[in-house]
Amino acid sequence: MAEDVTQLLARWSGGDKEALDQLMPLVYGELRRLANYHLMREKPGHTLQSTALVHEAFLRLIDQRNVQWQNRAHFFGVAAQMIRRILVDHARAHQTAKRGGGAATVAIDDALQISKKRDLDVVALDDALNSLATLDPQQGRIVELRFFAGLTIEETAEVIGISPATVKRDWNTAKAWLYRELSRSDQP
């Protein structure tokens, strides 16, 4: 299947519109899994549904211009960026609507394994990731791919073009940095 996706992405990058039609059924399930993964950690009553998140992410993906899709991992790495942006935009709009209250939360214990009972504001996570990316763009990208795309160490290494050992090292460093930053922002 990964080979099929990679071939279809290459055809799509080359301008083959039919490849896009064939690609959608192959990636839809994985996009849906990513959406469910992130939405199940949101507050109960979250107004964004997984189907809407998948469709919005896919629309943004097909709207990308001049992207030379490398492979399946690259596609899902970009999808992770789209999902992150959609969730953050949704959370910011929700906060604005409530004048700062009711921020959507993400349980970060599964992804970053920081704390067993910790919920995190998506907007705070986005701000922290933006700060991390300013300090170390590679670590910021690794967190985005691992957390938002759910890519493995090996897939992340392939997308970024570095060794799995470097991904592991940077992943651990980034988790510690994020824990410190997010703990600092929790304090009154």
What does the pLDDT look like over 78-134, one tens digit per residue? 887 888 888 888 877 776 655 444 444 444 444 344 433 345 577 788 888 889 999
The residues that bridge with 107 in the sheet, in sequence order, are 119
Domain that holds residue 91: 2-186
For 40-92, the pLDDT digits (tens) are: 766 666 677 888 888 888 888 877 767 788 888 888 888 878 888 888 888 77
Residue 2's pLDDT band, with cuts at 50, 70 and 90, is: low
- How many domains does one find in the chain? 1
